Amino acid sequence: MPGKVFKPAKAHAVRLGKRTVSAERKIRVLVAKPGLDGHDRGAFVLARALRDAGMEVIYSGLLPSPEQVAEMALDEDVDVVALSLLNGAHMTAFPRVKKLLEKMGGGDIVVVGGGIIPEDDKPKLLKIGITGLYGPGSSLEEIVGHIKGRVRKERWGE
Amino acid sequence: MLRNGGEAYWRRKANAVVERRAEPGSLYDAVALESVRKGVKQWEERVFGGQAKKGPESRSDFQTASGIPLKPLYTPSDVMDADYSDQGYPGVFPYLRGVHPTMYRGKTWTMRMFSGFGTPEDTNKRLKLLLDHGETGLSIAFDMPTLYGYDCDHERAHGEVGRCGVNVSSLKDMEVIFGGIPLDKISTSMTINAPATVLTCMYAGVANRQGVPMERLRGTVQADMLKEYIAQKEWVYPPEAHLRLVRDLMVFCTKKMPLWNYISISGYHIREAGSSAVQELAFTLADGFGYVELGMEAGLKPEQFAPRLSFFFNSTMEFFEEIAKLRAARKIWATVLRERYGVKDPRSLLMRFHTQTSGASLAWQQPLNNIIRTTIEGLAAVLGGTQSLHTNSFDEAWALPTEKAVQVALRTQQVIAEETGVPSVIDPLGGSYYVEWLTEQMEEEAYKYFDKIESAGGLLKAIKSGYMQREIAENSYRLSRRVEEGKDNVVGVNKYAIEEKKPIDTLKIDFKAQTSQVKRLERVKKERNEAKVQAALAKIGRAFENEDANSIEPMLKAVLEYATLGEIVQVGREIFGTWREPVIL
C-alpha cells in the first residue's frame, strides 16, 4: 500500500495529507535538503520511491537551514531524516543536522544521506552515524531496503 | 504566453503540423510513395516479421527517452510531407539546417569549459590554464552563496564558500578572477541568475579598472529566471520582481553593452531536473517567448534585443532525440518570432545556442565510462549544430573535476573537431528519414506543450501553480523507475556492475576558501568609503521601489564603490520579499 507525501506544517506551510492511522506501522521519513541547493531531482525521486514503498514522506521544501530541518524532524515525529545535498556542503550541513537532533532530543532518529559525496568523505559521515551516502544512479530498492533495515533494528527493535 | 493564457495560436500551430504530416508534400510522387508503402508493408510482414518470430527482440519496448514509440525502420513514407521549403538551407529561414551559412567549415564551435571553484585566486589559475590549452571562451561557475545572493560571511554561507564554484562577494573578487586576463580579448559566460544584474555590473566594473570600454565587452550572463522557478530553483525574489530586473538588464544593455548576451535561455537545467527532451524543448522555448514579450512590454522592438538572446541546451544519451530537438528548436524559434512577434530582421530570427553534455547522465560507478558518454553527447550537440560546447569531466559524479579530468573533457571535443570529419558537411543527418521524422515529432509535441501552458493561464501562472515543475518531477520518477525495472539500462549501474573500491582520485577543496574570502571581505569593507556605499545602496532601493525606473545604473555605481553582492541583493529582499515554491508533490 503506497504511503503519502506531504510538506511539514512549520516553515513551509502547506500540508498535503493527514497522518495515517493504521494498524500497519508505517515508517515516517523527512526528506530534506539542508542548505543552499536547488538540485531537488534526487529528493523528489526518493520521496516518490519511499511513498511507493509504503512510507509516510514529508518533504522539507528548498533552502531550510540545518536548524529548521532538525525542528521539522522533531515536530513531525519522524523515524528517519533523509538528507540530500549536491552542492558540496555535506561535510558541514549533514553533521550539523545530526548534532542538532541529538541536542534537541532526537538522537534516536535515523539519519541517512546522499548526493554528490566523494569517497574520502564517507568514513567521517559513517562514523557519526550518517549512513547510506548514495550517489546519483543508486538503486531505489537498495535505498528503501537500507532505510527499512535501520528503522526496524534501531527504532522498532526487531 | 507570459502573462495571459488562452491564446489559440499554439493549438493552431500544433494542428497545422499534424495536418501537414497527413498530406504528401511536393517532393514525393504519389505513385512512388504508394510503392514505398507497399514495400514497407511487405518487408514488415515477410522479412522483418519472419526474423522477429524466431526470437524475442532485445527490449520489451522500443521508444525514445521522451516516450515516443519507435518503429523498426523509417522510410520516405514517414516524411512524405517533406516540402523542402520548410527545411531550407544553412543561414536561411527557418534555419532548421543551421544558423550560419558555413557552419563548422568556417569556424568550429567555441570550446567553452565551465569552471570555477574555491577562491578567486584558484579560479584565476584554472582559467589561465584553460586558455593555455586552447580554450577559446571562458565560462565561470559560482558557488551557492553567490548564486543565492549571500556574502561569504553570511551565516547561510557557512560551509558552502567555494564548494561548487568560485565565491564572489565584491568587485575585489572579480578583479582577482580576471587578473591578467584582458577583457577586450575574450568572451566570458557567467552562470549566474538571481544576482545576474549585480555580476554584470561587476564585470563592467573590472573592465572599468582595466580601462576597457563597456561597449566592447563580450559575454553572457544566464539571467534566465523563468527556468529557475521551473527547474534550477535558485531564486531570491518572487517571479515578478526577478522579471522586472531582467527587463532592467535588457534595457540597460541594449543601450550600453550592445555585445553582451544578457539572457541565456536555458533548457539545460530543465533536462537535468529530469525532464524529457520534448519538455526541455517546449519549456525552454516558452521561456524564450516570455522574454520576447517582456522586452516588448518594456518598449523595445524585438529587433533591438532578439540578437542578444541566446540559448543553452542539454545533450544527454538519447542521441537522435538530442539532434532532432536542436534542429526543431531553431525552426520553431524563427517561425514563431516571424509569425507571432512580427520580427523581420533575419539576425533576430537566429537561435544561437550553447550545449553542455549531461551531468545527470554521469555515473559514479565505473567513472571512466563517463568519458564515452560525454563523447557521444558532445557528438550529438555538434550534429545538432551547436555554437559552443562544454564537455563534462568523467569524475563529476564524485566531485568537482580535477585538472586531468578537465583536460580529457576538452580533448574530447578537440578530437571530434579535428579527427572525425564531422565538421566538413553542414547538418550531415539532414534527410535521414528517421531524423527528419523525429524532428517533426519534436515540433508537434512542443506546440502541444505551448498550448497546455496557455491553457494553464500562461507562463507565469503555470510556474506559480507548479505545472511545469510537476511535469518534470513525474518524468524524472518515470525514468528512474524504468532503470530500476531494467527497462532502460545504464552500463556499470544496473548492468555490468562490478565491485570497485575508490575507482578514482578526486579534487579536494579545503575550507581555506571561506577563511580567506571572509578576510578579504573584511578588508574591502574597512577600506571603502562607507558613506558613499550607503548612499549608493539607498539609490538602488529607490530604483527598486519605482517600477518605471531602471536599477542597473545605480547598481553599477554601488559596485564601483565596493558595495557587496549580499548588500545589494538584500536591498531587494526588503522591498520585493522572498519566494516560496508551490507544492508539487
Task: Output the nine-digit C-alpha cell for B433.
Answer: 528519414
Q: What 3-state class would DSSP assign to A6? A: strand
Report yes or no: A137 at the B interface, CB cutoff 8 Å.
yes
| pLDDT reported for residue B81 | 87
A130 occurs within a structural domain? yes
The span from the CA of B272 to the CA of B276, in Å, is: 9
List b or e across B95-121, with b for residues whose CB sees 16 or more CB atoms inside 10 angstroms. bbbbbbeebbeeebbbbbbbbbbbbbb
| Greater model confidence, B11 or A3 | B11
A158 occurs within a structural domain? no
| pLDDT reported for residue B337 | 98
| pLDDT reported for residue B83 | 82
- Confidence at A7, pLDDT banded by 50, 70, 90: low
The span from the CA of B96 to the CA of B86, in Å, is: 8
| pLDDT reported for residue A8 | 55
Sign of CA dihedral B366, B367, B371, B373: positive
Nearest in space to B409 (alpha carbons), one of B361, B377, B366: B377
Q: Average pLDDT for consecutive 10-residue bins of chain B (585 residues)? A: 91 94 87 95 92 79 93 94 87 97 95 86 90 83 96 94 93 97 92 97 97 95 97 96 98 96 97 98 98 97 96 97 98 97 96 96 94 98 97 92 93 97 98 97 97 96 96 96 92 93 83 93 98 98 98 98 98 96 80
Contact B476 A16 (CB under 8 A): no
Tell which B residues from 358 to 397 touch A, by Cβ distance under 8 Å: 360, 362-365, 397
| pLDDT reported for residue A124 | 97
The span from the CA of A54 to the CA of A28, in Å, is: 10
B299 occurs within a structural domain? yes
The span from the CA of B514 to the CA of B122, in Å, is: 13
The span from the CA of B386 to the CA of B281, in Å, is: 15
Give the H or E element holding residue A46. Answer: helix A41-52
Cα A94 from chain centroid? Answer: 11
Q: Which of chain B's residues have a Cβ under 8 Å away from the Cβ of A13?
A: 580
Residue A88 phi/psi, 5-degree rounding, is 85, 5
Domain count for chain B, please give it. 1
> Which residue range(s) make up the domain with A114?
4-152
CATH of the domain at A111: 3.40.50.280
The span from the CA of B196 to the CA of B203, in Å, is: 10
Domain count for chain A, please give it. 1
The span from the CA of B559 to the CA of B205, in Å, is: 7
Per-residue pLDDT reduced to its tens digit, A88-144: 899 999 999 999 999 999 999 999 999 999 889 999 999 999 999 998 888 999 999
Report yes or no: B158 at the A interface, CB cutoff 8 Å.
yes
Task: Output the nine-digit C-alpha cell for B585.
Answer: 508533490
Q: Distance (Å) from the C-alpha of residue B231 to the closest C-alpha of chain A?
A: 8
Per-residue pLDDT reduced to its tens digit, A21-75: 445 689 999 999 998 999 999 999 999 999 999 999 999 999 999 999 999 999 9
Q: Distance (Å) from the C-alpha of residue B163 to the closest C-alpha of chain A?
A: 5
Cβ A45 vs Cβ A115: under 8 Å: no
Cβ B321 vs Cβ B279: under 8 Å: no
Q: Which of chain B's residues have a Cβ under 8 Å away from the Cβ of A7?
A: 583, 585
| pLDDT reported for residue A18 | 44
Which among A37, A41, A119 is the nearest to B274, CB-wise? A41
If you write DSSP's letter for every residue of B184-249 in order, what string do you get? TT-EEEEE--TTHHHHHHHHHHHHHHHT--GGG-EEEE---HHHIIIII---SS-HHHHHHHHHHH
Residues 6 or more apart whose Cβ sits within 8 Å of residue B306: B292, B295, B337, B343, B345, B347, B348, B349
| Strand ranges of the sheet holding A56-59, from the earlier edge strand across to the other edge | A4-6, A56-59, A28-32, A80-85, A110-115, A130-134
Cβ B227 vs Cβ B283: under 8 Å: yes
| pLDDT reported for residue B164 | 85
The span from the CA of A155 to the CA of A144, in Å, is: 16
The span from the CA of B264 to the CA of A69, in Å, is: 34
CATH of the domain at B417: 3.20.20.240
Per-residue pLDDT reduced to its tens digit, A146-156: 999 999 999 99
- Confidence at A13, pLDDT banded by 50, 70, 90: very low
Q: What 3-state class would DSSP assign to B271? A: helix
Cβ A154 vs Cβ A110: under 8 Å: yes
| pLDDT reported for residue B472 | 97
Interface mutation vs chain B, best among A4, A7, A33, A41, most B CBs within 10 Å: A41
Looking at chain A, which residue has its C-alpha nearest residue B501? A119
A69 occurs within a structural domain? yes
Report yes or no: A140 at the B interface, CB cutoff 8 Å.
yes
Cα B118 from chain centroid? Answer: 24
| pLDDT reported for residue B197 | 98
| pLDDT reported for residue B57 | 79
Report yes or no: A89 at the B interface, CB cutoff 8 Å.
yes
Looking at chain B, which residue has its C-alpha nearest residue A15? B583
Looking at chain B, which residue has its C-alpha nearest residue A61? B581
A157 occurs within a structural domain? no
The span from the CA of B416 to the CA of B411, in Å, is: 9
Q: Distance (Å) from the C-alpha of residue B301 to the closest C-alpha of chain A?
A: 34
| pLDDT reported for residue B508 | 83
Identity of the residue numbered A157: G
Q: Which of chain B's residues have a Cβ under 8 Å away from the Cβ of A120?
A: 502, 506, 508
> Which residue range(s) make up the domain with B88?
84-117+222-484
Report yes or no: B159 at the A interface, CB cutoff 8 Å.
yes
Report yes or no: A116 at the B interface, CB cutoff 8 Å.
yes
Identity of the residue numbered A155: R
| pLDDT reported for residue B51 | 85
Strands B218-221, B187-191: pairing is parallel
List b or e across B422-441, with b for residues whose CB sees 16 or more CB atoms inside 10 angstroms. ebeebbebbebebbbbbbbb
